[in-house]
Amino acid sequence: MDKDWTGNHATTHAVLGSSNHSDLERAQHDYYATDPVAVDMLEQTGFLDGVNTVWECAAGGGHLVNKLKEKGKTVYASDLYDHGLEGCESGVDFLLAQQGKDVDAIITNPPYKYAMEFCKKAIELCPNVAMFLKLTFLEGAKRYSFFKENPPRYVAVCVNRIQCALNGDEKMFAQSSAACYAWFIWERGYKGKPEILWVTK
């Protein structure tokens, strides 16, 4: 049937909340900067206690990188794109990495579109992995299969809502967030049941 309706073409996308038509509504290169307070919350899990060197493989503008450095960690920063972070190696496609860095841990907030691929690659390359992800990452049949093979050691739920900043706009950190985040932590070789933790600001 031919359709001749010429009304509001944005209506469907507005209802779904997922318009692909406006660069203003999407993060360039799926870049959502993480509030550095997330590192303080990760620290509460004890994960950072034995970590001296870190690979931040989706470093963006360095919000996690700089906070980790403040805590005395040596950080190798890389990203597929150049977001202006001094010392970051840009043009690095983490998903194509054939070998890891000489680091104790990989810590990042991966682009959500490729979150499971980042988790798989990080676990392959490094014995200790911490990924900052929406709690809804626990859902889904494909991720269920992944979790069965690669159970996280801890899922540390953020009690306080954390805002991720569209295109690195730090003013957004002060805004409220509808999303609940957690740190997903893997230790190579762990095959038990995940332990749930709660971390706060």
Residue 116 confidence (pLDDT): 96
Lowest mean pLDDT among 23-32, 90-99, 143-152: 23-32
Percent of the chain with pLDDT over 70: 78
Q: What is the pLDDT of residues 162-190, one digit of tens each?
A: 877 555 555 655 666 678 999 999 999 99
Residue 107 lies in a domain: yes
pLDDT on residue 27? 52
Q: Is 120 exposed, middle or buried (0-12, 13-18, 19+ CB in 10 A)?
A: middle
Q: For residue 26, what are its two tokens? A: 């999407």
Is 185 part of any domain?
Answer: yes
Pairing of strands 74-79, 128-134: unpaired
pTM of full prediction above 0.85: no
When mean pLDDT is compared across 32-36, 74-78, 82-86, 95-99, the lowest value belongs to: 32-36
Count how many domains the chain has. Answer: 1
**Could you tell me the residue range of the domain that residue 149 belongs to?**
30-199
pLDDT single digits (tens) 37-92: 999 999 999 999 999 999 999 999 999 999 999 999 999 999 999 989 999 999 99
pLDDT confidence of residue 33: 78
Domain-embedded: residue 17: no
CATH number at residue 85: 3.40.50.150
Has residue 122 been placed in a domain? yes
Side-chain half-sphere exposure of 182, counting CA atoms within 13 A: 18
- How much is the mean pLDDT over the chain? 85
Residue carrying the six token digits 């360039």: 28
Q: Is residue 6 part of a domain?
A: no
Least confident of 7-11, 23-27, 175-179: 7-11
Q: Does a structural domain hold residue 172?
A: yes
Strands 181-187 vs 53-56: parallel, antiparallel or unpaired: unpaired
Inside any domain, residue 93: yes
Q: Is residue 114 part of a domain?
A: yes
pLDDT of residue 179: 84
Whether the pLDDT of residue 32 is over 80: the answer is no
